[in-house]
Each structure stands twice: as C-alpha cells, then as structure tokens.
C-alpha cells in the first residue's frame, strides 16, 4: 500500500492569528473566555451535505458524524444532530423505498442511544417520476432530491443527461411539494476547462432553470467560485441557498500540488484560485443566511485515493467544525458562526433548529493520521496536523 505521501506541505493553509480575535464581536457565543481555554457554546450543528456510504465504510465513518465519540482513544466530539445524506451509492438511492432501507442501515450502524437523525435524499435520474416525489414527501424521511449531472462526480453515471428535456415534470412536482433540489453544479462537457465548470453550469443550467421554475427551492452544493456567490446573492432569499465545505474555505488549488500531488486534497468541484476562496469566505462570514454548513465529507478507502486514477472526495467529518471555527475566527466573525452551523440550514429546509448544545474549546488537538477499519483505512483531511478548536458535548 502506498504510504509515502505524508502531506509535507499542508501548512500552507490560510495564516492564523490568534491575536486578532476580537472578544467583543462574539460576546453572544463565548461561554468562557479565559485566555488559553476560550470556549464557544453553539446550538448543535447539522451537516447539510454528507456522504455516509454503506457496508464497512458506513460503519467506519458513522461515528464521526453522529452524536457520539470516536470509539477509541480519540473522542471526536458528538458533533452533528442531523445530516442530509447523499444518495450516490452503487446502485444509487432512486426510490423512497430504497431511501427508507438505507436510513435503516444507517441507524443500525450507530451505537445504541445515538440521536443522530439521517435526513434522506433521492438521486434524480432521467426517469424519476413525479409520483416518486409524492411518495418521498409522504414518507417523512426524504427531505430533498439530488441532481448529479451524469459523469460530473463520484457515482454520477446514473445521473441526469438532459435536465430540460427529461426532468421538468418531476421538478414541477418538487416545487409543488416544496421539496428542495440539491445540485452538484458542474457541467460535464469535456471541452469546458475543469476550473470553469461551475461557472458554466450557473449560466447554462441554473439561471435558465430558475427562470422556468421560479418556485423551485434549490441548494447549490459545495460552492467554489465568486460566480457562485454572485449567483446566490442574486436569487430571492429563502428560495436558493448554498452549502460550503471546509476545504473550499481553507484551501486553494495550490494545495493540490504542493510538494507533489496531494490526492487527499482532491475533491469535486476541484479547489479553485485564492480569489475564489476569499470570495466564499467573505460571503459566509458576512452573516448572510443564504449559506450553511455542508461538509461534503466524502470518505474513500486510502487505496482508492492513492492510486493511478484516484477518487474525488475529501474525508473531513472529524475536522470540519474545527476548520469552520478557524475560518470565522480568522475573519473576526465568530459571532456569526452559530447561524452558519446551526440556524440557516434548518431555517431554509423549514425544520426546527436543534435544542441541545455543543462546545468548541480553544485547545490544540492532533488529527489522527488515519482511521483504520477491518479491510482498509480512511485518511482524514489534515491527517496528522494540529488543529485549534476541539468540539465536545460538555
């Protein structure tokens, strides 16, 4: 197994200035501000974009997103209350019946006593019927439908080939039921430069789609560009929103190549230039309610990342909250963190906010170099690095 790639240059992420913290600006969330051990108290966050996989991988990762600690020496806080669970399995979750069964297998993978609530999604295909949307709404466990343009990302081969030609009736039904469309927003035309695929998707798909279906609720997932920020700001509030990942807030495209190819920083949409990262950071830390937490934590077995044709996806569940806190702290906006992690998402989906709390303690902790499971291991984002904010339940 290749193990030589040990992230020699990951320290190139945004610079961090503890001295720049403005205590007055986040007085509403500071539970204790004793210099070394500052603590934030947050309403329990939800993750509005999460890959939990299935089988062994599901069992390996469920505990990092759920509300209980990592089973061994390292206790990842009990983090998220709920998560929107992505349907891109093999085969994909295209029916309500499959979503209900998948939900059961997730619940089984959680240890007893867990209150983590997986919110299920359907994988949109050219053949999804309006009837399926009715069933999804009635089920009470399916909360959104996911659009993967065919060929855009991991397990998207069964996705949509022609949204305007094949999907309008089903999207009209979704609008009727207030069921959000979650979008992997990249065109797949191989002649479009990979760094422009999000921008072209906005121009050629999203803008015309919204003109045609102005009442469709849309979440543009894992936005990566200033064009996406402009698009989101141009839409009417409450109808179009965006999730933002830790990697697109913390890393730019240099991180893919620093000191050699860095497969564990490869995800789709691919990391962009620094100006795009800055645009997303400003949008998210401005306090706008159009943005919310969606980690896009996407585990792949180490061997499937470190190989000749490595999978796209960054496993960030164990580090996500620490990284979001770092971004807001760096921007002097810790007072806006809680809305991003815990309010904007449920408000957009029309769900109640969580009532329990978690804490983020300003103390250093080391990210494990990997999470082994029976037949493989998963390398997390910032493996082996030291992070500053440690989540906990008490």
Ligand X SMILES: NC(=O)N[C@@H](CC(=O)O)C(=O)O
Q: Catalytic site residues?
A: 49, 51, 146, 184, 222, 296
Shortest distance in whole angstroms from residue 300 CB to ligand X = 6
Q: Which of 65, 94, 95, 153 binds Zn ion (CB under 5 A)?
A: 153
Does 265 help bind Zn ion (rule: CB under 5 A)? no
Instruction: Tell me: cis bond preceding 91? Omega within 30 of 0 counts.
Output: yes
CA dist 322 and 79 (Å) reads 11
Q: Which does 313 bind (CB under 5 to 8 A by kind): ligand X, Zn ion, none?
A: ligand X
Kindly write down the DSSP assignment for every residue of 297-344, as one continuous string. B----HHHHSSTTPPP--B-TTTHHHHHHHHHHHTT-GGGHHIIIIIH
> How many residues touch ligand X (CB under 6 A)?
11
Shortest distance in whole angstroms from residue 314 CB to ligand X = 7
Q: Which does 227 bind (CB under 5 to 8 A by kind): ligand X, Zn ion, none?
A: none
């050699």: which residue's tokens?
260
Closer to ligand X at the Cβ: 40 or 271?
271
Does 338 help bind Zn ion (rule: CB under 5 A)? no
Does 296 help bind ligand X (rule: CB under 6 A)? yes
Between strands 117-123 and 181-183, the pairing is: unpaired
Does 341 help bind Zn ion (rule: CB under 5 A)? no
Residues in CB range of 363: below 8 A, 6 or more apart: 36, 37, 388, 390
Query: Residues 339-358: x/- map of binding to ligand X (CB under 6 A)?
Result: --------------------
Q: Which of 223, 250, 267, 337 binds ligand X (CB under 6 A)?
A: 267
Beta bridge partner(s), residue 359:
41, 392
Beta bridge partner(s), residue 138:
none
Does 198 help bind Zn ion (rule: CB under 5 A)? no
Query: Residues 62-101: x/- map of binding to ligand X (CB under 6 A)?
Result: --------------------------x-------------
Instruction: From 354, 384, 377, select the one nearest 119 (Cα to Cα).
Output: 354
Does 183 help bind ligand X (rule: CB under 6 A)? no
Q: Which of 95, 154, 333, 344 binds ligand X (CB under 6 A)?
A: 154
Cβ proximity of 220 and 240 under 8 Å: yes
DSSP character for 125? -
CA dist 15 and 278 (Å) reads 13
Give residues in contact with Zn ion (CB under 5 A): 153, 184, 296
Give residues in contact with ligand X (CB under 6 A): 51, 88, 153-154, 184, 267-268, 296, 298, 312-313
């Amino acid at each position: 197994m290749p193990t030589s790639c040990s992230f020699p240059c990951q320290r190139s992420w945004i610079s961090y200035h503890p001295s720049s913290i403005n205590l007055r600006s986040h007085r509403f969330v500071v539970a204790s501000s004793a210099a070394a051990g500052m603590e934030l108290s947050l309403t329990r966050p939800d993750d509005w974009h999460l890959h939990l996989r299935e089988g062994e991988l599901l069992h390996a990762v469920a505990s990092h997103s759920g509300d209980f600690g990592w089973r061994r020496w390292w206790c990842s806080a009990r983090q998220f209350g709920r998560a929107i669970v992505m349907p891109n399995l093999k085969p994909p979750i295209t029916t309500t019946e499959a979503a209900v069964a998948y939900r059961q297998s997730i619940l089984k993978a959680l240890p007893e006593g867990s209150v983590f609530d997986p919110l299920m999604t359907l994988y949109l295909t050219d053949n999804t019927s309006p009837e399926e949307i009715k069933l999804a709404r009635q089920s009470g466990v399916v909360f959104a439908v996911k659009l993967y343009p065919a060929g855009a990302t991991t397990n998207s081969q069964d996705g949509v080939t022609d949204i305007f030609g094949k999907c309008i009736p089903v999207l009209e039904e979704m609008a009727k039921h207030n069921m959000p469309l979650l979008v992997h927003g990249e065109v797949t035309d191989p002649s479009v430069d990979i760094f422009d695929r999000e921008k072209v998707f906005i121009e050629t798909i999203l803008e015309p789609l919204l003109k045609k279906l102005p009442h469709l609720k849309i979440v543009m997932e894992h936005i990566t560009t200033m064009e996406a920020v402009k698009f989101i700001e141009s839409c009417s509030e409450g109808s179009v929103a965006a999730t933002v990942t830790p990697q697109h807030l913390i890393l730019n495209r240099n991180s893919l190549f620093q000191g050699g190819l860095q497969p564990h920083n490869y995800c789709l949409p691919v990391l962009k230039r620094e100006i795009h990262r800055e645009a997303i950071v400003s949008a998210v830390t401005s306090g706008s309610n159009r943005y919310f937490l969606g980690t896009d934590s996407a585990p792949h077995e180490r061997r499937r990342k470190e190989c000749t044709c490595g999978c796209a996806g960054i496993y960030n569940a164990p580090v996500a909250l620490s990284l979001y806190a770092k971004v807001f702290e760096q921007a002097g906006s810790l007072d806006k963190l809680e809305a991003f992690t815990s309010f904007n998402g449920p408000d957009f989906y029309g769900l109640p906010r969580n009532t329990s709390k978690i804490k983020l303690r300003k103390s250093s902790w080391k990210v494990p170099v990997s999470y082994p499971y029976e037949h493989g291991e998963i390398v997390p984002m910032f493996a082996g690095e030291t992070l500053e904010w440690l989540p906990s339940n008490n």
